[in-house]
Amino acid sequence: MSAFNAKAIFARDFERYEGVRPIQIYLMRLGFLLVIVLVGNIAWSNIFTHEGDWDALQAVALSMWAGCSVLSVFGLINPLRWIPLVLFEIAYKSIWLLVVAYPMWSTGRLAGSRAEDIALSFLPVILPILAMPWGYVWRTHVWPNRLSRKPM
């Protein structure tokens, strides 16, 4: 049985994680678990307890969050294959913060508004941004196979 090596979790792991640091894998798994537990709980409890007609936009948001919580189960198992789900989360939260929350905040209208609670729940988007293995994302999703292409 090998002893825990704190240094190893910060070293790139080419055997198991395609050069991604294990700490990033653990943080991504934690993120997927938080989506399942927190977002899933909110979305599914609202879906199962709802009565009457739905507000269409609220139903879209709850359905999206419920879908993300279900797909996050797969992210727990294989976080590198489910990075696009995290990229989607980063994208929609960042866009909303920039387009909706920032203009309201900069003019003093965010505090006390309906958007304030959403802004507060979206601000932790910085955590998946920091945990994301951006080099891996670049190599596999943005510009895959760039090294295998032969010059003309």
89 pLDDT higher than 80: yes
What pLDDT shows up at residue 1? Answer: 52
Tokens in use for 118? Answer: 């959403």
Mean pLDDT over residues 123-142, rounded? 95
What pLDDT shows up at residue 7? Answer: 87
CA distance 72 to 67: 8
Average pLDDT of the chain, as a whole number: 93
CA distance 17 to 139: 13
CA distance 39 to 120: 14
Domain ranges of the chain: 12-75, 82-131
Mean pLDDT over residues 29-56, rounded? 97
Q: pLDDT tens digit string along 1-40?
A: 556 788 889 999 999 999 999 999 999 999 999 999 999 9
